[in-house]
Amino acid sequence: MNERSFFSEIFLCLSFMPTDKKTAILKSVLHLVNSVGFYHLNMKMIAAEAGVAAGTFYLYFKKKEDVINELYNLVVDEFNQAVLNAYQDDGDIKVIFTQMLEAAIQFYLQQKNYFSFIEQYTYAPFLFKENQEQNFVLLLPIYKMMRKGKKLRLIKDIPDAILLSIIHGSMNTMIKMHYAKKVSLNNAATRKKFYQACWEAVAVS
């Protein structure tokens, strides 16, 4: 089983949702946030892209920002699902660590829209009030693995926030650089080097 087919089963749940109007709207927003950004997103675009009438939106969402928040939850769930699937309770912690990073990166490589959406959502404070406490939801599976590594004295006994920042922050920037064509994550050797560097940051030396 190649990587693509392995992940496509997991990732594409939004893509395979029944093609009803509500799903069409959610997909339309996901696509538009990536192409025009939150700032320029408007109801006319959403309706046109979804192939529905302007009023139809309000049968499924109370107001514009609701679709954003609902979409965020869907996207986060998919991401967590993808990364958790890479988590094995038994097994070498470095292998698990690497597999989770790999899962996360593959997720974003195959779903540019998801990455773009999460980035904008996360870095837009006060865009939507519900945003304020969700910032680090994405990190939950990674967090779980980390705690285990600490117990086994394989991962440094330093504040979780530091470990999370290194893992999550550097991964995000790597993906951004990939999309900005500063580096190619399609190259497995490059990914391996990245995972190794991350590991050395967090591992007990």
The answer to whether residue 183 forms part of the interface with a second copy (CB under 8 A) is yes
Alpha helices by DSSP H, listed for 39-125, are 43-50, 57-60, 64-85, 93-110, 112-122
Q: What DSSP element (H or E) covers 11?
A: helix 3-11
3 state DSSP class of 111:
coil
With binding defined as CB under 8 A, does residue 177 bind a second copy?
A: yes
Token pair of 204, please?
């007990």
Per this entry, what is the length of the chain?
Answer: 205
Name, in order, each residue with C-beta under 8 angstroms of 25's C-beta and a sequence gap of 6 or more.
Answer: 46, 50, 52, 56, 57, 60, 61, 67
Instruction: Choose between 10 and 131: whose C-beta lies nearer to a second copy.
Output: 131
173 binds, among a second copy, DNA, none (CB under 5 to 8 A by kind): a second copy
Segment interacting with a second copy (CB under 8 A) among 19-27, 45-53, 94-102, 169-177: 169-177
Q: Give me the residue label for tokens 């580096």.
A: 183
* Residue 53 touches which of a second copy, DNA, none (Cβ within 5-8 Å per kind): DNA
Work out whether 56 is an interface residue with DNA (CB under 7 A): yes
DSSP state of 155: B
Can you give the binding site for DNA, defined by CB under 7 A?
A: 20-21, 40-44, 52-60, 63-64
The residues that touch a second copy, with contacts defined as CB under 8 A, are: 34-40, 116, 119-120, 122-127, 135-136, 156, 158-159, 161-166, 168-174, 176-177, 180, 182-183, 190, 193-194, 197-198, 200-202, 205
